[in-house]
Amino acid sequence: MTERLRLHGRSRGWLYAGCGMLVVSTDSFFVRWSRAEVWDLVFWVSLISLATYFASGSRFVTGSLLVSGSRRESMSPIRSWRRFPVPLTAIAVLSTVSQVSYITAVTRTTVSNVVVIVGASPVMVALVGRGFFSEKTARRVWTAIVVTFAGMTVIVAGSVGEPNLDGDLLAVAAVLAFSIGVNIWRRWPEMSRIVGLSMAAVLSVFAASFFASPLSLDGRAYLACVGMGLLNPLGRLLHTNAPRYAPAAEVALFTPVETVAASLWAWLAFSEVPKVGTVVGAVIIIGGVLYGTVTAREHR
């Protein structure tokens, strides 16, 4: 019975991770569709996200949908920061670096390149968790990671570095920051997600204010900012709650969901037709994710 309950909790973590990455996959669509400058996007998306986090801080959302009754979110930023000063500050910095790097990367290289590189995060998350937090990763998960990485290798073969290498390197920076962040959330499961993400939004607005011209956008760009500012926080809340129930390496297995979904949005909206290798790689990635999660039931 105990093992069954534990697996049920992990399934809840997988659900949060998968849904979170599916929602976040719309980011690349909004960034490309807006045609806005990077810092203008960062400013408005972070500002709207901050309002979304505040609205999401109600007892109904945090208490009933995302957080179990015994783990209600603390909405006092000062109290939360005093309890977890280092990890919350790290989360704020890492989330800011990840978001700015990701948005910039989408504007400097193809969407498929960015999301494929981001899809490599399962390997990075597992390595960071093993190296810095001594979190053990099951052989099944390592096998799934190898399979998903093989799928991403198929997709990226012959395309990394086109059209701009700097965009690909920024995507790598986003992966590294994201991977460390996932492990921090896993290490301190009782830490307030809303406070941490809100701190990241405030830091992003502050950083962007030095470079942005927020009143120079057109209506299309403002609509994109609103869409991203509403959906991105929802995806982040779902995904950052996932490590409360499942190991970081298993949560990261669902990152390729964004790889596949974002490539689909780019195909439908901007006629970025996926190559045959992209389709084959996507099938391999899905197979890896299924092996790393569904087969867990057979091992319990």
- Give the orientation angle of helix 276-293 with respect to helix 139-156, to 10 degrees: 170
The count of structural domains within the chain is 1
Mean predicted confidence (pLDDT) in 69-88: 71
HEC per residue, 241-262: HHHHCCCHHHHHCCCHHHHHHH
CA distance 42 to 98: 11
Range of the structural domain that residue 284 is part of = 2-299
Q: Mean pLDDT: which of 96-100, 163-167, 245-249, 254-258 is highest?
A: 96-100
CA angle at 94 for the pair 92 and 99, rounded to the nearest 5°: 95
**Whether the Cβ atoms of residue 222 and residue 44 lie closer than 8 Å to each other:** yes
Mean predicted confidence (pLDDT) in 168-190: 87
In this predicted model, what pLDDT tens digit does every residue of 274-295 receive, in sequence order?
677 767 877 887 787 777 766 6
140 vs 15: which has the higher pLDDT: 15
Closest CA relative to residue 252, chosen from 129, 87, 104, 155: 129
In this predicted model, what pLDDT tens digit does every residue of 203-249 receive, in sequence order?
999 999 999 999 999 999 999 999 999 999 999 899 888 888 888 77
